[in-house]
C-alpha cells in the first residue's frame, strides 16, 4: 500500500506570502558559514591548504635539502609556507570552488536570492580569511614546536597577508569567472605548483639565474613570501616594495575580474 | 495589488542571429497559476529568465509585481526554481534549504517543508547523491522557503516519477490556495491542463494561443474513427448539419467536429454503411490541449 500524502499528522507549512530580505549581516554570516564548512569538508582542499604546507614546513625544516643561507632553517621556511598557505586558500581553493559553483548554477541561483553579489563576495572573503586564520594558527604552532623564533612587527605581517589575500582572490576569481570549471581546476593547480617552485617559498630566489630573479621577484607569491621573510625572519621594518607589488596585483586582478566575471 | 504578477509586452530576445523571443506578449494574474506551454526551443526558459532578472531583454517591456525585473527588492518577493542545478553538489540538502531560509525574514521551517515534500530522510544527503526527482524537489523547496508572493518554476516536474510529480502538483495547488502567484513552464499537456488557471502556448518566441484550459480545448467534442484511407469526406459533410467539419489526419484516421450527439453519430455510421466502410475504434472525445497544440504549431511537444 502506498500513500501519496505525507505521514499522518504532518503539518502543512503555511505558504501565505510573507516575503522579506533578512538583514545583510545575517545573510552574509549564513553564507560565510556555509563557505567555511564547504572548505573544511573538502578533502582535496584540505590537502592543498593544510597538509601540504605543514609537510613542506616539517620536511624542509628538518632536512638540509635546500641551501637557505645562514640562520635556522625553520626561520627561513615558515614565512614561505605561510605565503603558500594564503595562496592555497585565496587563490587555488577559491578559484576551483567558485569555478564549479558557476558551472553548477550555484552562483546563478544565489543571484535570485536576496543575498546581493557584493554580499556574496563579502561572505567569500570572510570565509577565506577565517580559513587562513586556522592555517596560520596550525603552521605557527608547528613552526614554534620546530624552534621558530619570529621577529618583526605582527602588524606588518598582517598587512602583507591581507593584501596578499586580496591579490590572490582577484586572480582566483578572474580565472573562475572566465574559464570553464575544468580549465580552472587544471590551471589553478598548475599555477600553484609554479608559484611553489619559483616564488621563493622553499627555494630562495637567489637560486635562480640572475636574469630571472628580478622577474620572479614581481610574482605575488614572491612578494608575499619575501615580505613575510623580511619581517618575521629578519625583523625588518615595513616592506614597502612587497606591499606595493601586492597592491598592484590586487588592484589589477580585482578590476579585471569585476569587468570579466561571468556568473553563468 | 492592481498590477498583474507578470506583465510582458512585445518582448524581444536575440542570441546572436537567433531570435528567441519575437514580440511576445502575455500577462499572469495575481494569485493564479499561469502555465507557459511550448516545445523545446519555443522560448519558455528565455521568457522566465528575463522575468527572473537573469537575462536582459533586447526589446519590449517586462514588469514583475509592477517592477522592472532587475530591481533588487524583487529578490526577496520572488521565488525561483531553475530548470537544473543551483545547489552546491556536496552540500546536504537540508543544510542548503536552511541557508536559503536564513536569507528571509519569516521563512518556512525547512524541516517541515522537507517533510511536506517527502524528503525528510534525505535531509542529510549531499545534493549530488539524490535522484533527479529528489533534486527537483529540493530545488522546488528552495523556491518557496522564503514565503514569496510569486514563484517561477521552470519545468518543475521534468524527470519526476509519477509520485513526485503528484507531490509537486499538490504543492502548486497549495501555493495557489495560499494566494501565491505561480508561473510555470512545462511541456506536459496534462500538467498545464490540471494545474493552471491560464495557459499560454508559445512557439518560435511568440504567443500562439492563450486562455483557460477549457476555453482552449473548447466545449465541443469530436467523433473519431478509423477506416480505410481516402474516404470522400465532402460527400459526408453534405449529410451533416451545417458548421460541422471533417478531416483525415493522419491517413486513415478521421475526426468529425460539430454538434457531436446521437444524431451526428447516426448520420456518420449510416453514411459509412452506405459506402461499405467499416468504422473502427469509433469514439467521442473532448479535444485535448495536445490537439490544440498540434493544430497551432504543427509539431510534437517532445
Question: What domains appear along chain B, each with residue ranges and CATH number?
Answer: 6-215 (3.40.50.300), 219-286 (3.30.70)
Answer whether A103's CB lies under 8 Å from A180's CB: yes
Q: Is A209 on the interface with B (CB under 8 A)?
A: no
Residue in chain A closest to B69 (alpha carbons) equals: A112
Starting at the earlier edge strand, list the strands of the sheet with B18-28: B18-28, B6-15, B59-64
Cell of B155: 519545468
Find the range with the poorest average confidence among A172-186, B119-133, B263-277.
B263-277
User: Is residue A12 assigned to a domain?
Assistant: no
Look at A15 and B175 and tell me if their CB atoms are within 8 Å: yes
CA distance B290 to chain A (A): 27
* Mean pLDDT across chain A: 91
Q: Is B115 on the interface with A (CB under 8 A)?
A: yes
Helix (H, G, I), strand (E, B) or coil at B261: coil
Tell me what pLDDT residue B274 has.
87
Cα–Cα distances in angstroms (integers) from residue B28 to residues A78, A238, B56, B202, B289, in the given order? 63, 63, 19, 14, 19
User: Is residue A13 assigned to a domain?
Assistant: no
User: Is residue A105 assigned to a domain?
Assistant: yes
Alpha helices in A12-72 (DSSP H): 24-41, 43-46, 52-62
Tally of residues, chain A: 264
Q: Is B112 on the interface with A (CB under 8 A)?
A: yes
Position A10 pLDDT exceeds 80? no
Query: pTM of the prediction?
Result: 0.84
* B 40-59 residues with CB < 8 A to A: 52-54
Provide, for chain A, the percentages of residues in helix, strand and coil under a 3-state DSSP scheme, each rounded to the nearest 5: 70, 0, 30
Residue in chain A closest to B53 (alpha carbons) equals: A112
Tell me what pLDDT residue B114 has.
94
- DSSP bridge partners of B26: B8
pLDDT, tens digit, for every residue of B287-299?
777 777 777 777 6
Position A8 pLDDT exceeds 50? no
Task: List chain B residues with CB under 8 Å of A20.
Answer: 76, 104-106
Look at A105 and B84 and tell me if their CB atoms are within 8 Å: yes
Cell of A167: 591579490
Tell me what pLDDT residue A2 has.
41
Q: C-alpha angle with apex A30: A28 to A33, nearest 5 degrees?
A: 105
Residue in chain A closest to B74 (alpha carbons) equals: A114
Look at A108 and B53 and tell me if their CB atoms are within 8 Å: no
**Surface-to-core class of residue A42, CB atoms within 10 Å of its CB (0-12 exposed, 13-18 middle, 19+ buried):** middle
Residue in chain B closest to A101 (alpha carbons) equals: B88
How far is A150 from B194, CA to CA, in rounded Å? 72
Mean pLDDT across B187-191 = 82
Selected for mutation to probe chain A from B5, B105, B172 (highest A CB count within 10 Å) is B105
User: Is residue A10 assigned to a domain?
Assistant: no
Domain span holding position A66? 24-260
Q: Which residues contact A132 (CB under 8 A, 6 or more apart)?
A: A85, A86, A89, A90, A161, A165
Tally of residues, chain B: 302
User: Is residue A17 assigned to a domain?
Assistant: no
The label of the residue with cell 537573469 reads B54
Look at A6 and B118 and tell me if their CB atoms are within 8 Å: yes
Answer whether B194's CB lies under 8 Å from B10's CB: no
User: Is residue A231 assigned to a domain?
Assistant: yes
Task: List chain A residues with CB under 8 Å of B142.
Answer: 109
Q: Chain A to chain B, count of Cβ pairs less than 8 Å apart?
A: 128
User: Is residue A16 assigned to a domain?
Assistant: no
Q: Is the peptide bond before B250 cis (omega within 30 degrees of 0)?
A: yes
Look at B102 and A22 and tell me if their CB atoms are within 8 Å: yes
**Surface-to-core class of residue B121, CB atoms within 10 Å of its CB (0-12 exposed, 13-18 middle, 19+ buried):** exposed
How far is B291 from B300, CA to CA, in rounded Å? 10
Look at B99 and A30 and tell me if their CB atoms are within 8 Å: yes
Position B37 pLDDT exceeds 60? yes
Answer whether A109's CB lies under 8 Å from B86's CB: yes
The tally of domains found in chain A comes to 1
Q: Is A46 on the interface with B (CB under 8 A)?
A: no
ipTM over 0.85 threshold: yes
User: Is residue A5 assigned to a domain?
Assistant: no
Position B84 pLDDT exceeds 60? yes
Alpha helices in B146-224 (DSSP H): 162-177, 189-195, 213-217
The label of the residue with cell 531583454 reads B57
Answer whether B239's CB lies under 8 Å from B267's CB: yes
Task: Return the closest-CA partner of residue A17 out of B105, B165, B33.
Answer: B105
Task: List chain A residues with CB under 8 Å of B177.
Answer: 15
Amino acid at each position: 500500500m502506498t500513500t501519496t500524502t505525507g505521514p499522518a499528522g504532518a503539518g502543512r507549512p503555511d505558504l501565505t506570502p510573507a516575503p522579506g530580505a533578512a538583514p545583510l549581516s545575517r545573510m552574509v554570516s549564513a553564507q560565510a558559514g556555509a563557505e567555511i564548512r564547504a572548505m573544511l569538508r573538502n578533502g582535496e582542499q584540505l590537502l592543498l591548504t593544510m597538509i601540504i604546507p605543514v609537510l613542506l614546513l616539517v620536511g624542509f625544516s628538518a632536512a638540509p635539502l635546500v641551501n637557505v643561507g645562514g640562520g635556522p632553517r625553520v626561520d627561513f621556511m615558515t614565512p614561505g609556507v605561510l605565503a603558500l598557505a594564503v595562496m592555497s586558500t585565496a587563490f587555488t581553493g577559491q578559484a576551483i570552488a567558485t569555478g564549479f559553483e558557476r558551472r553548477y548554477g550555484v552562483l546563478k541561483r544565489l543571484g535570485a536570492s536576496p543575498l546581493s553579489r557584493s554580499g556574496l563576495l563579502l561572505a567569500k572573503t570572510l570565509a577565506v580569511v577565517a580559513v587562513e586564520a586556522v592555517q596560520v594558527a596550525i603552521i605557527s604552532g608547528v613552526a614554534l614546536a620546530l624552534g621558530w623564533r619570529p621577529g618583526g612587527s605582527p602588524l606588518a605581517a598582517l598587512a602583507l597577508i591581507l593584501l596578499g589575500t586580496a591579490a590572490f582572490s582577484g586572480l582566483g576569481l578572474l580565472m573562475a569567472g572566465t574559464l570553464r570549471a575544468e580549465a580552472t581546476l587544471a590551471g589553478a593547480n598548475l599555477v600553484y605548483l609554479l608559484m611553489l617552485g619559483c616564488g621563493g617559498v622553499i627555494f630562495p630566489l637567489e637560486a635562480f639565474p640572475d636574469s630571472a630573479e628580478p622577474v620572479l621577484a614581481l610574482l605575488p607569491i614572491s612578494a608575499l613570501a619575501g615580505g613575510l621573510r623580511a619581517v618575521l625572519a629578519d625583523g625588518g621594518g615595513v616592506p614597502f616594495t612587497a606591499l606595493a607589488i601586492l597592491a598592484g596585483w590586487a588592484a589589477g586582478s580585482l578590476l579585471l575580474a569585476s569587468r570579466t566575471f561571468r556568473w553563468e | 495589488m492592481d498590477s498583474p504578477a507578470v506583465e510582458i509586452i512585445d518582448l524581444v530576445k536575440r542570441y546572436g542571429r537567433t531570435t528567441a523571443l519575437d514580440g511576445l506578449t502575455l500577462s499572469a494574474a495575481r494569485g493564479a497559476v499561469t502555465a507557459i506551454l511550448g516545445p523545446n526551443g519555443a522560448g519558455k526558459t528565455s521568457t522566465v529568465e528575463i522575468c527572473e532578472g537573469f537575462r536582459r531583454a533586447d526589446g519590449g517591456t517586462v514588469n514583475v509585481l509592477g517592477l522592472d525585473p532587475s530591481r533588487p527588492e524583487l529578490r526577496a518577493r520572488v521565488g525561483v526554481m531553475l530548470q537544473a542545478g543551483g545547489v552546491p553538489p556536496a552540500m546536504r540538502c537540508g543544510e542548503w534549504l536552511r541557508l536559503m531560509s536564513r536569507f528571509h525574514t519569516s521563512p518556512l521551517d525547512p524541516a517541515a517543508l522537507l517533510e511536506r515534500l517527502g524528503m525528510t530522510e534525505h535531509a542529510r544527503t549531499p545534493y549530488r547523491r539524490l535522484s533527479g526527482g529528489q533534486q527537483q524537489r529540493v530545488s522546488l523547496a528552495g523556491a518557496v522557503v522564503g514565503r514569496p508572493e510569486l514563484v517561477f518554476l521552470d519545468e518543475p516536474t521534468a524527470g519526476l516519477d509519477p509520485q513526485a510529480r503528484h507531490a509537486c502538483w499538490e504543492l502548486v495547488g497549495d501555493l495557489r490556495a495560499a494566494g501565491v502567484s505561480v508561473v510555470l513552464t512545462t511541456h506536459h499537456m496534462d500538467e498545464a491542463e490540471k494545474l493552471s488557471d491560464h495557459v499560454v502556448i508559445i512557439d518560435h518566441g511568440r504567443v500562439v494561443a492563450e486562455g483557460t484550459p477549457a476555453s482552449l480545448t473548447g466545449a465541443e467534442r469530436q467523433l473519431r474513427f478509423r477506416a480505410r484511407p481516402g474516404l470522400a469526406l465532402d460527400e459526408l459533410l453534405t449529410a451533416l448539419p451545417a458548421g460541422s467539419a471533417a478531416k483525415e489526419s493522419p491517413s486513415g484516421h478521421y475526426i468529425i467536429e460539430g454538434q457531436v450527439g446521437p444524431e451526428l453519430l447516426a448520420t456518420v455510421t449510416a453514411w459509412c454503411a452506405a459506402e461499405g466502410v467499416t468504422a473502427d475504434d469509433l469514439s467521442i472525445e473532448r479535444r485535448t490541449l495536445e490537439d490544440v497544440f498540434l493544430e497551432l504549431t504543427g509539431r510534437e511537444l517532445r
